[in-house]
Structure 1
Amino acid sequence: MFAAASSLTTTTISSKSSLGGYRGKEVVQKSRSSMMRSTARRNNVNVVVRAEAQKTIDMNESRTYYFCIANADFMLNDENNEHFPEILRERRRFYRETEKLQDFWIVPNPTFLDAMPEIKKKIRQPCVAVMTTDEVWNTFIKLRMDRVYKGSVEGTGAELLKSNELIAADAFPPVDPAKWTAPYNKYSPGWWEVFYPGADWTQGYQATVNPLAEEGVERTGA
């Protein structure tokens, strides 16, 4: 079976709650000296923020959740998709540095797929969905990953981000070093767990901001 179908299907799960909104940040110009002081303060704040769990959008508000879904091995373990963890890591870094509310997740074996039997049978199991409320970013993921099924569902995060079963860190066979030709080490098993709904983004964050900064440093965590 294919990793995923390539067509676009939009399915709606009804909900009674209303859509939520977002507030932008105010940008104020400052003098050079005040900018230096502000930078120092921001650096101190970043240390505090990194010690806290990432804040998310309201899971009880109904909204549209967009997803790209495919076979778990293709999404999480295929060596041709090594750019996928990097995409998520960079987005996580941006969200934490700008204190943006988390609006994207990795959802293994999502329960909402049970209501879409025609789609589910096209996707080799077990499967993984990347879910977000950002339609533009979802389209970007589709273009980067290619062989994934793209769609959307309507409802609350509490309803739609549930999993029938998680993907274990040892779900895939270890990599044979003799067959690994990339100029960097493979991500450690279970790198995806930090992107599960409710997971703490601080895990592995500071230690792996730039895993390629030093030659020979193993890429651990996410």
Structure 2
Amino acid sequence: MTDYYFALASQKFLKEEEPLEEILRERINFYKSNKKKIDFWFVDDPEFLSDLDVEINTEQPMAAIVSTNKTFINWIKLRIGYVLIGELNDYSFTTNNLLENIIE
């Protein structure tokens, strides 16, 4: 069983209002330089939204940073602020769900 952690916000906020691309690019470079496997993904319109027990205004398209590293998601919350964080226990992700990186 794998636990996934997420930081969720509108696509507009994550892609346009915050320097998320730079943050994720720096994190990827850090992982590569330390020979660590990438354990986070950027997901547009995450399917797990319907499974959450919170009310979310989904009038705007949503996006999430998903990771197996809880500390990283907490750091994202501190770094960019206005995101909802949470946890998905034993969620069945497919490769297509997760590999929609904002970094090409």
TM-score, structure 1 as length reference: 0.42
Native 8 Å contact 2:24 2:103 kept in 1? no
Structure 2: 5+ residue runs without aligned partners?
none
**Aligned twin of 1:116:** 52
What is the alpha-carbon distance in structure 2 between the residues aligned to residue 157 and residue 142 of structure 1? 24
1:192 corresponds to which residue? 102
Offset of 1:115 from its aligned partner? 1.6
Secondary structure (helix, strand or coil) at the match of 2:49 reads helix
CA 1:116–1:157 in 2, change beyond 3 Å: closer, same or farther?
closer
1:137 and 1:193 map into 2 onto residues whose CA distance is: 17
Q: How many residues align?
A: 103
Query: Which of 1 and 2 has higher RCO (CA within 8 Å, sep 6+)?
Result: 2
Question: Does residue 59 of structure 2 align to residue 143 of structure 1?
Answer: no
Provide closer, same or farther for how the CA distance between residues 114 and 156 of structure 1 changes in structure 2, counting only shifts above 3 A.
closer
Residue 73 of structure 1 is matched in structure 2 by 12
What amino acid is aligned across from residue 87 of structure 2 in structure 1? S
Structure 2 CA distance, aligned partners of 1:117 and 1:161?
24
If each structure's strand is expressed as a fraction of its own residues, which one has the higher value? 2
RMSD (Å), alpha carbons: 2.5
2: CA distance, partners of 1:161 / 1:124: 24
Give the TM-score normalised by the residue count of structure 2: 0.83
Which of 71, 77, 89 is 1:154 aligned to? 89
Q: Show structure 1 runs of 5+ residues with no match.
A: 1-61, 167-190, 195-222
CA distance change for structure 1 residues 153 and 132 in 2, over 3 Å: closer, same or farther? same
Structure holding more helix per residue: 2
Asked whether 1:87 is paired with 2:23, we answer yes
Please state whether the residue corresponding to 1:101 is helix, strand or coil: coil
Q: Which has the larger radius of gyration?
A: 1
